[in-house]
Structure 1
Amino acid sequence: MTYDALAPAASAGGFPVKRSLVVLGAGESGIGAALLAKQQGYDVFVSDGGVIKDIYRQELAVNNISFEEGHHSWDKILGADEIVKSPGIPEKSDLMKKVREKQVPVISEIELAYRFSKDARIIAITGSNGKSTTTALTYHIFKTAGLNAAMVGNIGISYARQVATAPAEYYIIEVSSFQLDDITSFKPDVAILLNITPDHLDRYDYKMENYVASKFRIAMNQTKEDYFIYCMDDPEIMSHLSKQTIYSTSIPFTIMEPLKKEGGFIANDQLNIQLNDDPVIVSIYDLALKGKHNLYNSMAAGIAGKTMDIRKEKIRESLTSFKSLEHRMEYVTTVRGVDFINDSKATNVNSLWFALESMEQPVILIMGGVDKGNDYTAIQDLVKEKVKGIVCLGVDNQPIQDALTAFTPNMVNTSAMKDAVQEAFKLATKGDVVLLSPACASFDLFKNYEDRGKQFKEAVREL
């Protein structure tokens, strides 16, 4: 299907023709880019090889933006002055091969949005795990301080949509490696790199060094007036830092040792943020987010707040009052003494490792889905120590069984969420926790991880 907006009047009298911009992909990112580009005077065309959601199709029509779905018009795409590529489109696709061959300039949606929000302060957060939690916590700090802040990117509405419809003074952005791959000038005032563990390697020629380099693009345009906040306990980050020069002010955080310089650390059961000679100190027992991994997230968000001169009282208040995100270690309910926790957003093994590491009760684990070449040996010790039973939920559960059967007394196969929850409840006794933490993508049985999490909560409430 193709919808053509009213063609703009032909240029006359020496006026320049509008720059043509093609947006590839009509998800939230693509639609946001289209709306912003249209507002800024571009001649916009949206092309999606699949089916566009009704709500997005209506937005395009209402805003008089030409689009097509179910196919690609090569003349329009390859004739564009510039292309905005949605992050879900791999470079290996025939579409991108043709675009690269034609040498049409390609940018990401965050690059487009940055062009029209340079007067704002930008805090960008990336990493393999913990991005959404840290983004939400950072936003909570800024809102608690009374600042005009917006939370955008992978976590909710697109950065470009926000710039087009409700500009803010501060943008707290969750960014993925896919988005960073197509930036040219995007420069956050504060860049946070939480951690780097194997993920999405199929998009990086199965080379870890390519994935690491992609993550580090978050700091590539920064200058000494900007901040680069990083985890000094992460071996991939530290290895890359030994080879790459960072031009911004670097601020580390660690749970391994007290720091004598500026940064974040844990000492005497207290979280410490040392910056600008005015430390923030919070008891780890008062933090809203529990678990070792959340110490990192809390330090990173707190440091970001401190770089923007937010008062330490507001940072401390925020770190102790934050409510966790839906689908990320989300407590659902307790049924006959058994707690149920929804961690559907855990789509890789490292996220599952963090979830298990924070558990203090015996665990019945529901896991499985689309396996991205996962190495489950990383969690064998934690499974042996904490997991009473594993309920596999997926079309192909064999890799999980091969890696983990020997490390837990119970292993059950299911192919529907309701069955998985019922089997887990059968294995649980009072004082246990049933944890949905799949370590896999959701697309075999569900629309996305949100759908998976919602079905989990519905099945739990039906017990």
Structure 2
Amino acid sequence: MRLADLAGRRVAVWGFGREGRAAIHALRRHAGEQPLTLFCSAAEVDAARAFDAALEIVAGEPDATRLSRFDVVVKSPGISAYKPALLAAQAQGTQFTSGTALWFGENPDARVIAVTGTKGKSTTSALIAHLSRALGIRTALAGNIGLPLLELLGQQADLWVIELSSFQTGEAGPLELGVITSLYEEHLDWHGSRERYVADKLKLADAARTLLVNALQPALLERTQNHSQRLLFGTPEGWHVSDGFICRGEQAVFPVAQLAAPGLHNALNACAALAALEAVGMDALAAAPALARFRPLPHRLQPLGAHDGWHWVNDSISTTPLATLAALESLHGRAVTVLVGGHDRGLDWAPFVDAMHSAPAHAIVCMGSNGGRIETALLVAGVACPIMHVADLASAVAEAKTHTPHDGVILLSPGAPSFDQFKDYAERGRRFAALAGFDVTITGIEGLGIG
């Protein structure tokens, strides 16, 4: 669907976050004074009126009757495509689209590398853009990483690196290369089941002419084996990690120790980025030295520094238990107190509990709405380290200070979303930094946009 297809039709925008605002702006540019309705929360009404006084604003969650009054609804990504009201309106003829789908409709000939994955998609996307620019290629970095595609509508780039969440993979148009970094369970509240989450995530394979996937994930290999143009990273024949180096086959290319982003998973993200460049015909070997200049993304295993005798690491982006395990792996050999818990989406914490039973952290502080559930599972399993349960992040930091030895690490890696107590993971990460005693401004992701 293109923006021109909306002319003369009854159109609504559902959601007033950054994606919703970008959609309103794009529709105004292309459809002028066409009537436009916005569905938003009651708390957003005043801001929406200030943003666009001509909007018809409906506060609150729309039901099927309201939605079915429109020919097209432009939906923000966080609104589940499986809401009963949405499905009922769809059955009555209402079409649902998104900013992502509209951008692809407007840019059918753009050269696109799209990246998804349960973990690693943001860092991999940023790495691809960083390395591409190091080769002198005008590159756009946008999408779920923090810049809606519609904000770049009408701008030109030689390569578009687009991060897609599981909410967006089915909205992508045909593209040159799709990259899938990992596949675990997540966002079950949006998708409704693990199987539907996996199926939605893998919709990227349908859009991608060539598909690049992580060879170290058996389930991902099995689910993508029928793609006619599948490539792999993480194999000895291609880009992989071996003996402390990022390697291309038998050639040692870049020392892992020189990566500012710590951990094996980040070294694999670098392999994915290099393999992606190679897959679209770029000189990945020539780009590899630029890995040394890549700055880690905020809130992703971000070392805050030392303060009051402890080392502090902000991994607030961690929203799955497996992401927490990856964070702990990156700090292997150090005395780590890890802060876990947050909004309870019903994810399975058994892999985390099993890992802590075999190789426990120095201490574990459980917090948030699922903190009690995590604590109980750890105690029942007999995990042999101090385990505390507190209500909130401030209390968790206080407990961590009590139980962490001098020169140890206090790691925020919650393995859960922040919505029980914070607006988003970034707000949670900034609060952690403040509680740790750091008077710093954690900026946004570098390199967004076109450069």
Aligned to 1:231: 214
Equivalent residue for 1:186, pick from 157, 160, 173:
173
Q: What is the 5 A alignment of 1:283-302?
A: 283-302=255-274
CA distance in 1, matches of 2:166, 2:388: 35
Equivalent residue for 1:307, pick from 279, 288, 293:
279
Q: Deviation at 1:368? A: 0.9
Contact 1:389 1:408 in 2 (8 A): no
* 1:95 aligns to 2:85 (yes or no): yes
Equivalent residue for 2:115, pick from 117, 125, 138:
125
Q: Deviation at 1:340? A: 0.4
* 1:169 aligns to 2:138 (yes or no): no
Q: Aligned to 1:407, what secondary structure does the other structure show?
A: coil
Contact 1:393 1:420 in 2 (8 A): yes
* 1:402 aligns to 2:376 (yes or no): yes
CA distance in 2, matches of 1:296, 1:44: 48
- Quick one: which amino acid aligns to residue 221 of structure 1? A
Q: Deviation at 1:267? A: 4.0
Q: Deviation at 1:122? A: 1.3
Contact 2:253 2:285 in 1 (8 A): no
Structure 2: gaps (5+ residues): 1-5, 440-451
Q: Deviation at 1:71? A: 5.7
CA distance in 2, matches of 1:396, 1:214: 26
Aligned to 2:44: 52
* 1:201 aligns to 2:181 (yes or no): no
Contact 1:130 1:297 in 2 (8 A): yes
- Quick one: which amino acid aligns to residue 322 of structure 1? F
CA distance in 1, matches of 2:212, 2:37: 36
* 1:417 aligns to 2:400 (yes or no): no
Bigger mean CA offset, 284-293 vs 355-364 = 284-293
Deviations 1:339-381 (A, max 9, x none): 1000001011111111111112111011111121122221234
Aligned to 1:319: 291
CA distance in 1, matches of 2:82, 2:285: 49
CA distance in 2, matches of 1:232, 1:295: 14
Cα pair distance change 1:78/1:221, threshold 3 Å: same
- Quick one: which amino acid aligns to residue 197 of structure 1? Y
CA distance in 2, matches of 1:103, 1:423: 55
Q: Aligned to 1:40, what secondary structure does the other structure show?
A: helix
* 1:373 aligns to 2:346 (yes or no): yes
Aligned to 2:442: none
Q: Aligned to 2:227, what secondary structure does the other structure show?
A: coil
CA distance in 2, matches of 1:267, 1:387: 26
CA distance in 1, matches of 2:321, 2:304: 22
Equivalent residue for 1:272, pick from 228, 247, 268:
247
How many equivalent pairs are there?
428
Aligned to 1:144: 134
Structure 1: gaps (5+ residues): 1-15
Deviations 1:19-57 (A, max 9, x none): 443221121122222222332337462422413276665
Aligned to 1:33: 23
Cα pair distance change 1:65/1:173, threshold 3 Å: farther
Equivalent residue for 2:201, pick from 215, 226, 234:
215
Aligned to 2:432: 456
Contact 1:60 1:66 in 2 (8 A): no
Q: Deviation at 1:396? A: 4.4
Q: Deviation at 1:66? A: 4.6
Q: Aligned to 2:162, what secondary structure does the other structure show?
A: strand
Q: Deviation at 1:167? A: 4.3
Q: Aligned to 1:228, what secondary structure does the other structure show?
A: strand
CA distance in 2, matches of 1:73, 1:38: 25
Aligned to 2:231: 251
TM-score normalised to the size of structure 2?
Answer: 0.86
Aligned to 1:6: none
* 1:241 aligns to 2:241 (yes or no): no
CA distance in 1, matches of 2:432, 2:245: 35
Deviations 1:292-328 (A, max 9, x none): 2112211111122223444345521222221111111
Cα pair distance change 1:251/1:58, threshold 3 Å: farther
Contact 1:367 1:440 in 2 (8 A): yes
CA distance in 1, matches of 2:47, 2:177: 34
CA distance in 2, matches of 1:31, 1:44: 16
Deviations 1:253-301 (A, max 9, x none): 11xx512xxx422345432346xxx988223333333212112211111
TM-score normalised to the size of structure 1?
Answer: 0.84
CA distance in 1, matches of 2:363, 2:57: 49
Q: Aligned to 2:27, what secondary structure does the other structure show?
A: helix
Q: Deviation at 1:219? A: 2.2
Contact 1:32 1:158 in 2 (8 A): yes
Aligned to 1:447: 423
Deviations 1:420-463 (A, max 9, x none): 21221111112311000001111111111111111000000169
Cα pair distance change 1:342/1:67, threshold 3 Å: same
Q: Aligned to 1:445, what secondary structure does the other structure show?
A: coil
Equivalent residue for 1:388, pick from 348, 355, 362:
362
CA distance in 2, matches of 1:56, 1:359: 44
Q: Aligned to 1:369, what secondary structure does the other structure show?
A: coil
Bigger mean CA offset, 335-344 vs 306-315 = 306-315
Q: Deviation at 1:144? A: 2.4
* 1:105 aligns to 2:110 (yes or no): no
CA distance in 1, matches of 2:411, 2:281: 38
CA distance in 2, matches of 1:233, 1:99: 41
State the Cα RMSD in Å.
2.7
Aligned to 1:80: 70
Contact 2:80 2:191 in 1 (8 A): no
CA distance in 1, matches of 2:236, 2:281: 23
CA distance in 2, matches of 1:258, 1:47: 52
Bigger mean CA offset, 85-94 vs 428-437 = 85-94
Cα pair distance change 1:120/1:67, threshold 3 Å: farther
Bigger mean CA offset, 308-317 vs 171-180 = 308-317
Contact 2:12 2:39 in 1 (8 A): no
CA distance in 2, matches of 1:442, 1:86: 19
